[in-house]
Structure 1
Amino acid sequence: MCPKSSQTLNLLVINPNGSEAVTNLIQSGIDRYTGPNTVTTYWTCPNGPAVLQSQEDIDRSTEACLGPLVQIQDRKRYDAFLLACYADHPLVAALQGRLGLPVVGIFEASVHHALDVLQRMKRFAILTTGKAYEEQLSNGVTKLLDVEDVPLSRFAGAVATSVGWSDLQKTDEGTGIVKAKVREGVRKVLGLGDIGVICVGGVILFGMEGWIREICEAEMGQENGQKVIIVDQLQAGVMAVERAIEKMLD
């Protein structure tokens, strides 16, 4: 992160589920993108679902996280909050309504980044994890595009890979299973037509951007495959926080 001010900035990164292992995965990504003037603290929801797999889980995590996070901000002043959950998560708006600081969600950040880099006559799509997220994210994108006054036709859809946390805990066999699921998901995304940007949506898919690039090149040919922009959800989140802080400092 490189805001205009050289002052130290305190960023709280929120994992709204109860898995410390997921928090560690988030940290491995966020840490590579934040700059030397940013002090990053990672917070895991203490009482929420271990993994968010449904809208009910997302709503439960909002209830579990909101009060403790408001109390945390009352005790220690953070400069910004980053919600590291790829979902249309109500916690973002709830915190924005309670706190006088930038609150950014990686879902919203990646969609905005996709729109920024999307070429004319092309569309963006989301490659996600569980089946339930296809509808959840599609509805979220519809709301965002309506606010931004962007035609819904720019969005091709959300496609689930069915990659789960349990898949990542396996050995070499698990890696093969994950790769096969990601390959099938990317093929479905490309089959939607005119895809210029793929948003990687789901924290457990972080680090698979290279596979997705390789699959695009294998399916479309190297030259055309390289033209597809792959959005790293955590990088997009950090970039959005950076912009929000710079705007606040102006």
Structure 2
Amino acid sequence: MPSILVINPNSSQKVSDNLEKILVPPPNTNLFFYTAPAEAPKEIDGTESLIESEQVVLPDLLAKGLHEAYDGYLVCCYSDHPLIHSLAKSTTKPVLGIMQATLLYSYSNARLNKLFVLTSTSGWNATLDEAITSFGGAGVFPAQKFQRTRALDVLVLSLADEDEFAKISRRVAEVFDEYKEDKIDAVLLGCAGMAGLDEKLLALYPEVVFVDSCKVGVEFLSALTRLC
């Protein structure tokens, strides 16, 4: 039975606990969960903490022999996290980032015409737009498919809190109003801390597909474990 290691590359056990609560393993697949050691950043909020995270997590995975212990590895940080690339060089098993999984979904689902990434804080906006551009490979932002990334401006560690949802829903309404001419039909939830928000937002906007990056990541990676 294929096994997937769900990697939380920050040291917040709260984020890992939420992932474990939300994620459902695909048929005949086992999910295991890893939280970065305490010396890793508690919250990843930009380039510096991305690098710090990779410098702590990769040696820990290698030292514990975890890099070959599972059939696939899901890096749960919505970015082009350096761990995706360094771990892929250190194992023969497939490695996938949750951002890349949502972009694969957005291009593979022909029903989706216009979408955008909704992230945690606005400091990520330009970084994620650059990553979307890089993923497309054409050197320009794919404006025919995507609008620019927008942020909730809610701290990662608070995204799953019930008392923050009123603020989140107001901010989502503001973004939809900003993009009302685009006929947005999908939103990529651009943070592992947003796991579980897809169902809550779908209840408010049933005509929009809200893509939980970690759920989609598990599904794509499960397929890769069978194909690779």
TM-score normalised over the length of structure 2: 0.87
CA distance in 2, matches of 1:244, 1:200: 22
Look up the equivalent residue of 1:182 and give its one-letter code.
V
Instruction: Considering fraction of residues, name the structure with more helix.
Output: 1
Are 1:85 and 1:203, in contact at CA under 8 Å, matched by a contact in 2?
Answer: yes
Picking from 109, 130, 139, the partner of 1:139 is 130
Q: Secondary structure at the match of 2:80?
A: coil
Equivalent residues in 2 for 1:107-146, closer than 5 Å: 107-119=99-111, 122-146=113-137
| Cα deviation, residue 167, structure 1 | 4.0
The answer as to whether partners of 1:161 and 1:181 remain within 8 angstroms in 2 is yes
Name the counterpart of 1:3: none
Counterpart selection for 1:104 from 96, 103, 119: 96
Residue identity matched to 2:50:
I
2:5 pairs with 1:9: no
| Consecutive unaligned residues in structure 1, runs of 5 or more | 1-7, 218-225
Structure 1 equivalent of residue 173 of structure 2? 183
Q: For residue 67 of structure 1, report the CA deviation from its aligned partner.
A: 1.1
Question: Quick one: which amino acid aligns to residue 144 of structure 1?
Answer: F
Which structure's CA Rg is the greater one?
1
CA distance in 2, matches of 1:75, 1:166: 27
Q: Which of 124, 129, 150 in structure 2 is aligned with 1:159?
A: 150
Match of 2:185 in 1: 196
The corresponding residue for 1:237 is 217
- For residues 46-65 of structure 1, the aligned pairs below 5 Å read 46=37, 47-65=39-57
What is the rounded CA distance, in whole Å, between the counterparts of 1:112 and 1:199 in structure 2? 11
Percent identical among aligned pairs is 23
**TM-score if structure 1 supplies the norm length?**
0.80
Structure 2 unpaired stretches of 5+: none
Q: 1:74 to 1:160 in 2, by over 3 A?
A: closer
Distance, in Å, in 1 between the alignment partners of 2:40 and 2:124 is 18
1:210 Cα deviation from its structure 2 partner: 3.2
State the alpha-carbon separation in 1 of the partners of residues 80 and 67 from structure 2.
28
